[in-house]
Chains A and B, each alone.
Chain A
């Protein structure tokens, strides 16, 4: 539920990074934060455990300038990936306008990706939203890894994107490869979906 303020001509839209635990959702946001440091006026907020795992969410507000005369503020969130944190994960999805699903390319994470995508579908359905309708981008993360066997992109496409047919990017959040293109894509899809209210 994006919020459009007609008086201040401001739009606030919420984009959530979803995916299995230790998949690189927080790292995506950290890369964006370091890359656009001069455009982001506030600090990134992270609620995490002592073991550096996301407990509730990370939050990064991001001004992208004017679109159709409106000042657009994109609020980037991550969810905790660990299965046990579903209650808080679901809360973060409230009012979401666009989603990035960060999948882990490591071969032994195949099942985890699947579980997490299914969990996303269920949690969206609880808010009466369809995974097939919400603006969505898939990111196949950790392509930089050399030590562990990775799944071929075609296999991940078949596993996760066969029905969704969402735009997808092979990426490495840690090196920054395709992090910004992922973000640009989801922002443009989200803004396109909001166009009817920004008149």
Chain B
């Protein structure tokens, strides 16, 4: 086997402090769950859950959802590159009762929002972008 890589590069681990997490969860609760969203997840691109909030009525398997969401996002992102786009700005799956919206927070994190018919897509996108701005100001 060749050694055409930098042997000194070790892999990085990510930790978030108690206070940062509290602030993020507060943003997710106030901006999104209180605004009528059913469930919201902040995940990393590897599919790990960083923070989650819901309205108490959600029984989804969130760990599997996070794994699939990060993979789905990565696949769509790669498709964008293939057709010459930097990224697709709107990622959204519409269901009859529940819909899922994906939004990139920064190169490492994604915000996944699950919402019902009572929230319109336009309003949701507005709230999500406000929440992302607040989260990014924490880092």
Contact = CB atoms under 8 A, between A and B. Distances in A.
Interface residues of A, number: 42
Interface stretch (B17-25, B93-101, B114-122, B124-132): B17-25
A59 B4 contact: no
Contacts of B14: 1-4
Interface in A52-109: 56-57, 59, 61, 73, 75, 77, 87-88, 91-92, 94-97
Contacts of B15: 4, 6, 197
A1 B21 contact: no
A133 interface: yes
B5 A45 contact: no
Contacts of B17: 6
A1 B9 contact: no
A7 B49 CA distance: 13
A75 B47 contact: yes
Contacts of A92: 71
Contacts of B45: 94-95
A153 B46 CA distance: 34
Contact of B68 (A45, A125, A133, A163): A45
B75 interface: yes
A154 interface: no
A95 B22 contact: no
B63 A91 contact: no
Nearest to A88: B75
Contacts of A3: 14, 44, 46, 48-50
B61 A43 contact: yes
Contacts of B10: 133
B18 A91 contact: no
Counting from the closest, the 7 A-B pairs by CB-CB distance are: A95-B46, A3-B48, A125-B5, A12-B48, A91-B74, A61-B63, A7-B21
29 contacts: A3-B46, A3-B49, A6-B15, A6-B17, A7-B18, A12-B48, A43-B64, A56-B71, A57-B67, A57-B71, A59-B67, A59-B68, A61-B67, A73-B63, A75-B63, A88-B71, A88-B75, A92-B71, A95-B46, A95-B48, A96-B46, A125-B4, A128-B6, A128-B11, A130-B5, A131-B1, A163-B1, A197-B13, A197-B15
Interface of B: 1, 4-7, 9-18, 21-22, 44-50, 61, 63-64, 67-68, 70-71, 74-75, 78
Given A3-B14, A45-B68, 20 more contacts: A1-B48, A2-B48, A5-B16, A7-B18, A42-B63, A47-B68, A59-B47, A61-B64, A73-B63, A75-B47, A95-B44, A118-B1, A121-B1, A127-B11, A128-B9, A130-B9, A133-B7, A134-B11, A194-B13, A197-B13
